[in-house]
Structure 1
Amino acid sequence: MGTWSVDSFGNDDACDWTYELAKANDLTPVEEAIDAVLNSGEDGVEAYEATEAIAAIEVIARLQGNWGDRSAYSERLDDWVEKNNLQPSVALKQKANLAIERILAEDSELNELWQESEEYEAWRASVTELMGRVNLS
């Protein structure tokens, strides 16, 4: 995985996932990305699953008006959110929070990879901040 930043779109996998989102007119790709994390087996969450789920959770937060940082890397997703006036269900928002907990867990490959970096605390703070932008109500 190519990574250049601790933010949600600071990696190739998240940016590539936005192409899948751009083809959709509903939240199916969002739910699928989150479900991939929640349904990961005993081996834990794969890094690409985690980065795609983080991008998907950004969709949920932004649909609720809780925009994070906007950049050229998030532009495709931001455009999709602006064009699609969808409201994520309470169940999907709850799944998003559970997915973040899995991503931050010890058996998450992405968490392990970031632990090897000097920017680990900044990455955790970024993911935790995202969790705070998803309103459960």
Structure 2
Amino acid sequence: MGTWDTGHFDNDTAADFSGDVDELPPGERPGLIREQFLAVLDEGEEYLDSDLAVTAVAAAALVAAQCPGGDPVATPYGPDEPLPTLPLDLRPLAIRALDRILGPDSELAELWEESEDAGPWREGVRRLREILAAADQGCAIVER
């Protein structure tokens, strides 16, 4: 994996994922995003491959961008085409995927821990999780 910075799209695999998102019709983009989270979660307790993790982090950034307080994806490596409003049920999936990525047996987390940029990368992923969790909690309160 070619990585040039700590951003969610600052690697070859995430940039390729952005291209995949752009190539789909708008109505199919949420499904591709969902697939990234499910791929991570389907690994269960197995060692999590970094490529699966990288695309799930990028997908989580797309979901978080639509949450209150979320940061827009303003990198040239993110999707060029606008996303439709994403289903709210992607938020808890993204949270669970990020927890798995930050946890033990995650190749991506291990690779970053070997880097001097581990702190900024981990903080960026934690920020995504916080935004998603706050938005998901807000939805749960509204739906009651």
3-state SS of the aligned residue for 1:79? coil
Match of 1:80 in 2: 82
Question: Which runs of no fewer than 5 residues in structure 2 stay unpaired?
Answer: 140-144
In the alignment, is residue 57 of structure 1 matched against residue 60 of structure 2? yes
2:142 counterpart residue number: none
Structure 2 partner of 1:28: 31
Alignment of 1:117-136 (within 5 A): 117-134=115-132, 135-136=135-136
Compute the TM-score of the two structures, normalised by the length of structure 1. 0.87
Asked if the contact 1:8–1:55 (Cα under 8 Å) also holds between the matched residues in 2, the reply is yes
Q: Count how many residue pairs are aligned between Structure 1 and Structure 2.
A: 131
User: 1:11, CA displacement in angstroms?
Assistant: 0.6
Retained in 2: the 8 A contact 1:63–1:88?
no
Contact 1:102-1:108 within 8 A present in 2 as well: yes
> Displacement, 1:80?
2.4
Larger radius of gyration: 2
Alpha carbons 2:14, 2:55 under 8 Å: kept: yes
Is 1:9–1:73's contact at 8 Å kept on the other side of the alignment? yes
After TM superposition, the score normalised by the length of structure 2 is 0.83
Gaps of at least 5 residues in structure 1 are none
Identity of aligned residues (%): 33
The amino acid that maps onto 1:60 is V
Deviation at 1:78, TM superposition (A): 5.3
Alpha-carbon distance in structure 2 between the residues aligned to 1:78 and 1:19: 8
Return 29-38 or 42-51, whichever deviates more. 42-51
